[in-house]
């Protein structure tokens, strides 16, 4: 198979982890006889420094003619510490999702058995947890009208959802549930928010087309609690942009570390694959970032965008094998990890 993959390293550890994700894709091409070509484009803080635009036109046009995107992360502490800065790295990511119509973010929460004890949650509660999140990506407070008024004494972000946005991601979630444990938990705040009442109404309507799938509705506050209390009670979780962002960071503790969670953003055109973690400037340049989220994102890329199931599975098996042999990056290590099994970013990439 001949395919072009565009790498967007972005900021901070994004560069370090996508290097390893790309190497694994190259190895897959070599082992399975594919021809993958790679090109690079700028996004985020680095792009702002070069062009004052977090998603330059040149990047966008490259993305519109590629077969799949492997993305790292965006962000920089400079912006977190100065909320008055108007041009920000995250705007590049949000614009990219909108421009490419990437409305469904799939975040599989897969707990590798080998990491059962890496989590702070009790193993007997965790064992067998396997959740697939569908986070909506193109609506909600992220894209509603925002601004300041009253001489800067009031700020607002409009939480807005359109029926079609809820419908299209709900169909994706129900279809996915059909080939899993046939349960969708839709998460909203319908006791307070009008946009959540529309969300619930639309999900109930879509559910009628999938009689083989059980649907339940939970409020975000209760879902956040149950996720830790009884993670095995969830199969597919369907939720909006903001709630999905928060819940999946929480759910990363089920998998042991943010460094383990991959994601796929899909819509009507090209697919984008990225770790759920951000740019992590506190560890940037130290070579200790866990590249497994990027490597597992590469596995999702092969599976979803190219339909290469065997190749995708080979990556997951390699991850399992390396973890089973006891190798760890610092985020998934514990007091029992021997020194000679502690790996840096590149060593983990080498072993996979
Ligand atoms: N790889 C994920 C990433 O870079 N996250 C940084 C971020 O600000 N994301 C915003 C969002 O996911 O909505």
In the chain, what are the domain boundaries? Answer: 1-111+259-352, 119-255
Does the annotation flag 80 for ligand binding? Answer: no
Active-site option among 39, 80, 113, 221: 221
Q: What percentage of residues in the chain have a pLDDT greater than 90?
A: 92
What is the Cα gyration radius of the chain?
20
CB-based contact 159:261 (threshold 8 Å): no
How far is ligand 1, taken at its centre, from the CA of residue 33, in Å?
34
Tokens of 163: 């029926």
- At the topology level, CATH places domain 119-255 in Isopropylmalate Dehydrogenase (3.40.718)
pLDDT, average across residues 305-315: 98
Q: What is the dihedral of CA 340, 342, 348, 350, to 10 degrees?
A: -20
Summarize pLDDT for 155-198 with one digit per residue, the tens: 999 999 999 999 999 999 999 999 999 999 999 999 999 999 99
| Global confidence as pTM | 0.95
pLDDT, average across residues 88-92: 96
Active-site option among 172, 189, 235, 273: 189
What phi and psi, each to the nearest 5 degrees, are found at residue 188?
-150, -165
Residue closest via CA to ligand 1's atom 1 equals: 73
pLDDT, average across residues 253-258: 92
- 274: Cβ below 6 Å to ligand 1? yes
Q: In this structure, how many other beta carbons lie within 10 angstroms of the beta carbon of residue 266?
A: 21
DSSP state of 116: T
40 is catalytic: no
How far is ligand 1, taken at its centre, from the CA of residue 83, in Å?
17
pLDDT at 144: 96
pLDDT at 120: 80
Which of 21, 73, 141 should be mutated for ligand 1, with most atoms under 8 A from CB? 73
How far is ligand 1, taken at its centre, from the CA of residue 210, in Å?
32
Q: Write down the CATH number for the domain with range 1-111+259-352.
A: 3.40.718.10
Q: What is the ipTM of this complex?
A: 0.90
How far is ligand 1, taken at its centre, from the CA of residue 276, in Å?
7
Which of 15, 72, 93 should be mutated for ligand 1, with most atoms under 8 A from CB? 93
Summarize pLDDT for 115-151 with one digit per residue, the tens: 988 788 889 999 999 999 999 999 999 999 999 999 9
Q: How far is CA 300 from CA 124, 307, 316, in A?
A: 28, 9, 10
Would the CATH topology of 1-111+259-352 be identical to that of 119-255? yes
164 is catalytic: no
How far is ligand 1, taken at its centre, from the CA of residue 205, in Å?
31
Residue written as tokens 């529309």?
198
245 is catalytic: yes
Summarize pLDDT for 17-70 with one digit per residue, the tens: 999 999 999 999 999 999 999 999 999 999 999 999 999 999 999 999 999 999
Under DSSP, is residue 110 helix (H, G, I), strand (E, B) or coil? strand
Apex 153 CA angle, 192 and 48, nearest 5: 90
- 275: Cβ below 6 Å to ligand 1? yes
Residue closest via CA to ligand 1's atom 11 equals: 245
pLDDT at 110: 87
Query: Rounded CA gap, 185 and 131, in Å?
Result: 10
103 is catalytic: no
Active-site option among 79, 103, 142, 161: 142
Does the annotation flag 82 for ligand binding? Answer: no
Picking from 267, 277, 290, the residue whose alpha carbon sits closest to that of residue 138 is 267
Query: Rounded CA gap, 190 and 158, in Å?
Result: 16
How far is ligand 1, taken at its centre, from the CA of residue 283, in Å?
17
- 278: Cβ below 6 Å to ligand 1? yes
């Amino acid at each position: 198979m001949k395919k072009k993959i565009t790498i967007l390293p972005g900021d901070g550890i994004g560069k370090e982890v996508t290097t390893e994700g790309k190497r694994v894709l190259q190895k897959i091409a070599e082992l399975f006889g594919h021809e993958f070509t790679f090109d690079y484009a700028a996004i985020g803080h680095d792009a702002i420094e070069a062009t004052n635009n977090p998603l330059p036109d040149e990047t966008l046009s490259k993305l519109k003619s590629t077969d799949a995107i492997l993305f790292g992360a965006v962000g920089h502490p400079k912006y977190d510490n100065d909320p008055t800065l108007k041009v920000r790295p995250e705007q590049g990511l949000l614009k990219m999702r909108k421009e490419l119509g990437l409305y469904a973010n799939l975040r599989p929460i897969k707990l590798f058995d080998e990491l059962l004890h890496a989590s702070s949650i009790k193993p007997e509660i965790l064992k067998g947890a396997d959740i697939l999140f569908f986070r909506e990506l193109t609506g909600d407070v992220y894209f509603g009208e925002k601004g300041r008024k009253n001489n800067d004494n009031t700020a607002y972000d409009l939480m807005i959802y359109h029926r079609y946005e809820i419908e299209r991601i709900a169909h994706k979630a129900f279809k996915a549930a059909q080939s899993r444990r046939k349960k969708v938990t839709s998460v909203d705040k319908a006791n307070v928010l009008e946009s959540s009442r529309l969300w619930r109404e639309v999900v109930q309507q879509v559910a009628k087309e999938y009689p083989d799938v059980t649907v339940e509705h939970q409020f975000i506050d209760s879902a956040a609690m149950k996720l830790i209390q009884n993670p095995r009670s969830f199969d597919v979780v369907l939720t909006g942009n903001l709630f999905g962002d928060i819940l999946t960071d929480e759910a990363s503790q089920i998998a042991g570390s943010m460094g383990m969670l991959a994601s796929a953003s899909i819509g009507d055109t090209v697919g984008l694959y990225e770790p759920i973690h951000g740019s992590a400037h506190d560890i940037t340049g130290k070579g200790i970032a866990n590249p497994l989220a990027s490597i597992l994102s590469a596995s999702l890329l092969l599976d979803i965008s190219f339909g290469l199931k065997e190749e995708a599975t080979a990556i997951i098996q390699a991850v399992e094998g390396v973890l089973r042999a006891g190798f760890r990056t610092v985020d998934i290590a514990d007091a029992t990890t021997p020194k000679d099994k502690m790996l840096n970013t590149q060593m983990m990439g080498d072993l996979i």
